[in-house]
Amino acid sequence: MALQTQIAFDFDSVPQQPLPQQKFIVKKDAVIELPDAITTIVKTKSTRGRMSLKEMSAGIDLLEIPADEILFQKMYYSIGKVAAMFKVNQSLIRLWENEFDILKPKKNGKGDRLFRPEDIKNIQLIYHLMRERKFTMEGAKDFIKHNKKADEKFALIESLKKLKGFLNELQANL
């Protein structure tokens, strides 16, 4: 018969040395190991998903829609140029085209959408309702359907905004 022995280890009695601490800095999903640095974690905001209402409101003043004299010089604008004017994705313009009856861009043989200046004015009205006045899609559709003079009201609002901007600039120069 074999003699069985059992060995027991008592880890509490062995003096423990502290493990060397590793310091890391996290930047844009990359981990950099620094031996004697202070541990810092930098969180970067994801660029995916929806923008917050604060971010949308901040971007409203930055639209690059040309004045009517310049806008009506060309007969057609591509969807890329229109999306760049409003600083939105092309998919949003396509969605608005499908949802709103007032948008009817012309399509060429390849199927590319070509927007007339009138279509851009209608997109500007839709943008105003959805992004500035925070209407839902259904609310914006109802507003356009029931208010036949919505275009005139919007033009009046835009001219008042230009006047306000001019007066604010004049006041700043005094």
- Find the range with the poorest average confidence among 21-25, 76-80, 122-126, 153-157: 21-25
What pLDDT does 138 receive?
94
Predicted confidence band of residue 8 (pLDDT cuts 50, 70, 90): low
Q: Could you give the residue ranges of the DSSP H alpha helices within the chain?
A: 53-59, 68-71, 79-86, 90-99, 117-127, 137-146, 150-173
What pLDDT does 30 receive?
57
Which domains are delineated in the chain? 53-162 (1.10.1660.10)
